[in-house]
Amino acid sequence: MENLIEPNIHPILVHFTYALGVSAALAYIGTLFLPAGRMRDNLRPAADWMLALASVAVIATIAAGFQAYYSVAHDGPSHEAMTTHRNWAVPSGLALLALAAWRWVRRASAPGTLFTFAAVIVAGLLTVTAWWGGTIVYKYGLGVQSLPEASGPGHDHDHGGGSESGQGHDNADGHHGSATSSPEEPEPAETGTPDSKPAGHDNSDGHHGSAGNSSSADDQDTHAGPDTPTGVPAGHDNSDGHHDPLPASADERAILDIINAVETGWENGNGEPFRTHFQDWDGARYFESGGGNTGLDDLVENHVEPEKDAIPDLDLGFSNIHIHFEGDNFAWAVADTTVTGTLASSGERLDRTGKQTMLFRKIGTAWNVVHTHSSSRASRR
């Protein structure tokens, strides 16, 4: 029974408080407007009982809410929203208790117009409180343990059993090897964090050049404009036929710069870009095909830094990058990924393609990565 309710019982209790409180207010309205008779006579005690039960539920709800307030992992923006929810919840709960006490004192008489109006006001306060409660979950993700990975007809995804540290890779002979089969062999890096370079382009000499390193001045003029951030060739025709549009805003350019810096960190086994651009918050998770890392230190020390020794010639590619903004302080980026390299332990050649998602939050004037999720499979080219 341990961890039966994750992470807190508050979301269960709050439904009783809200449903009973609002239903009681509606029932009291009915006692004012229904004609005299059995229905109105039966509705009044029903309303009284719902109000009494709501007053009991609200005490437990607020107690559990405070426990959640001081224990659920959160960042700066979500803390502000959570505090607003608390600041509505406490006076709303006190108003509900005061209404119940009023009704208890006047229980011998029928509820009047003034009392019913007060009940409607309390129901309104509960509604605003409930709205903020939904906002901190569905907009800010407070208390959410994991995000679903969309799947359905026609969606390709791995079904193999992966360990927590990585899903593994397809060997050249068609067998699937575990990423943990050798302690010196971490999972390929594309599954932890995206690479900002588009997949590359075919140069005029027939060679396939990296999207981040043009082979000539003409090539640079073709693929990078004056508004393109350094090392991020937006407006670039990739080898898979996709075209990455030029960044349209300073925020978009900032996010592309972060992706580019993180890509370089993966290829060089350098954790500094991650410590610079990732928000180090309690409970952070970075998912990859069936596995993941918990916390920034785990990601850097057990995945990024060992990667260079495990795959010395690691090369990441990104194409079809799309950045979406929600308001002024939240954004996410999605992209197609490629990863190639040679495993040092076995000499096996890796050639994989996949998808990447990164979530960003703007703290002050700087964008920070708060979550990554990626998956890949053996290339079908």
Q: What is the DSSP string of 188-248?
A: PGGGTS---S-S-EE-TTS-EE-TTS-SSHHHHHHH--TTSPTT---S-B-TTS-BPPPP-
Reply yes or no on whether the pLDDT at 266 is more than 70: yes
Average pLDDT over residues 10-16: 90
- Give the tens place of pLDDT for each residue, 311-370: 899 888 878 889 999 998 999 999 888 889 998 888 888 898 989 999 999 988 899 999
Strand pairing report for 169-170 and 208-209: unpaired
Does position 16 have pLDDT exceeding 50, yes or no?
yes
234 phi/psi in degrees, rounded to 5? -65, 155
**Is the CATH code 3.30.70.141 the one for domain 186-378?**
no
Sign for the CA dihedral angle at 105, 110, 114, 118 comes to positive
User: Global pTM?
Assistant: 0.41
Is residue 23 packed enough to be buried (19+ CB in 10 Å), middle (13-18) or exposed (0-12)?
Answer: middle
Residue type, 241: G
Look over the chain and give the mean of its residue pLDDT values, rounded to a whole number: 75
272 or 181: which leads in pLDDT: 272
The amino acid present at 176, given as its one-letter code, is H
In this predicted structure, the answer to whether residue 300 has a pLDDT above a threshold of 80 is yes
For residue 145, the model assigns a pLDDT of 67
Quick one: tokens of 80? 């502000």
Residues 112 and 114: their CA atoms lie apart, in Å, by 6
Per-residue confidence (pLDDT) for residue 161, from 0 to 100 = 39
What tokens appear for 70 in the block?
């001081």
- pLDDT of 242 > 50? The answer is no
User: What is the model's pLDDT at position 71?
Assistant: 80
**Residue 354 near residue 191, CB atoms below 8 Å:** yes
Phi/psi-derived region of residue 248, left when phi > 0, alpha when psi is between -120 and 50, beta in every other case: alpha
Residue 72: per-residue pLDDT: 76
Query: Residue 379's pLDDT band (boundaries 50, 70, 90)?
Result: confident
pLDDT band of 4, cuts 50, 70, 90? low
Weakest mean pLDDT among 14-28, 139-153, 196-210, 294-308: 196-210
CA distance 217 to 222: 9
Instruction: Give CA angle at 29 (25, 33), nearest 5°.
Output: 170
Task: State the pLDDT confidence band at 246, using cuts at 50, 70 and 90.
Answer: low
- Cβ-contact 30, 40 below 8 angstroms: yes
Q: Which two tokens stand for residue 115?
A: 């009392």
Q: How far apart are CA 177 and CA 188, in angstroms?
A: 12
Pinpoint the alpha helices (H) of the chain. Answer: 10-33, 38-69, 76-105, 113-138, 217-223, 250-268, 272-277, 296-299, 305-310
Is the pLDDT assigned to residue 58 strictly greater than 90? yes
Q: Which of 329, 323, 327, 307 is nearest to 358 (CA)?
A: 323
Q: What are phi and psi of 128, to 5 degrees?
A: -65, -45
Contact present, 244 and 250 (Cβ < 8 Å)? no
- What letter represents residue 287's amino acid? F
Spatial contact of 260 and 268, defined as CB atoms under 8 Å apart: no
